[in-house]
Amino acid sequence: MFDWKFFLLHIFKLSPAYGAALLTTIGLAIVGQVLGIIIGGFVSMGRLSRSRTFRWTAAIYTWFFRGVPELVLMVILFTGVAAAGLLRFDDFAIGSFTVSASLQAAIVAIGLREGAYMGEIIRNGLQSVSKGQVEAARALGMSPMRVMWKIIIPQAMRVIVPPFGNDFNVMLKVTSLASVIGVPELFLTTQTFSAQNFRVFELFIGLAINYLLLTTAWSVIQSLIEARLRRHESIAGRRTFLRTVQAHLIGTSATDTGSA
């Protein structure tokens, strides 16, 4: 029998432990993603490098971290590496907030995994910028750094953001794997609750709704970023916030306002 009272209380009255779990999940996803973007930037440069050594290093990195399951990576990093005496993560504190060893290992694992995916996404974006655009910028007298920041990156962003958004969506869910190495994120916390009161169905439906809220919030943010990047395609002018979100969620093209 589904206990509605328990379910609604659980959903709408966040317990401190559950609130902390929510923050851990979001933090893990965001910090892992940022780390992944940084690594991915280097990987994409390696992939596009003139040096064969860099190209190969980046290719092997991508091959490895796209091929090994995130779960296996986390266990290797947290338990295996420590057991082998190579590297042991230790708790450390930032102010009053303690970053546990398991959370560090999870962040590193997710960052490494993201680095491989982001490397490919960024590379694809950089390669999409046409030679003519770069030449026009160079002909104006822009230095290579300026060409990169003013022309290549802004233009590549339009190609990077949609797959990046999908990737981050997957990432929000992949964080649940960190439960295996004992990171008290949403999944592990829910599991702990259910071991105490056996309301497995209610708790996990609640958890599903929680993940849906996270991925939906991200969807909305993504659609806003994409709409901003597609300003140049619209001659009808700026879209309202609501129409942008609606177009994104329902799946109509964000560019159907018409262009010349």
Q: Which CB atom, from 74 or from 122, has the smaller least distance to another protein?
A: 122
CB of 22 to another protein, least distance (A): 37
With H, G, I as helix, E, B as strand and everything else as coil, classify residue 234. coil
Q: Which CB atom, from 146 or from 243, has the smaller least distance to another protein?
A: 146
Q: Which CB atom, from 11 or from 142, has the smaller least distance to another protein?
A: 142
CB of 91 to another protein, least distance (A): 45
Q: Which CB atom, from 80 or from 144, has the smaller least distance to another protein?
A: 144
CB of 135 to another protein, least distance (A): 6
Which of 178, 172, 56 has its CA nearest to residue 108? 178
Total Cβ atoms within 10 A of residue 79: 14
CB of 234 to another protein, least distance (A): 8
With H, G, I as helix, E, B as strand and everything else as coil, classify residue 92. strand
- Angle among Cα 150, 151, 157 to the nearest 5 degrees reads 100
Q: Which CB atom, from 88 or from 150, has the smaller least distance to another protein?
A: 150
Q: Which CB atom, from 69 or from 144, has the smaller least distance to another protein?
A: 144
Please give the backbone phi and psi of residue 9, each rounded to the nearest 5 degrees, phi first.
-60, -40
CB-based burial, 165-196: b 16+ in 10 Å, e otherwise = bebbbebbebbbbbbbbebbbbbbbbeebbee
Which of 213, 194, 219 has its CA nearest to residue 22? 213
Q: Which residues bind another protein (CB under 8 A)?
A: 132-133, 135-144, 146, 150-151, 154-155, 158, 231-233, 235, 259-260
Residue at token pair 């860099």? 54
Total Cβ atoms within 10 A of residue 122: 26
CB of 222 to another protein, least distance (A): 19
Give CA–CA dist 152/14, Å, rounded.
45
CB of 221 to another protein, least distance (A): 21
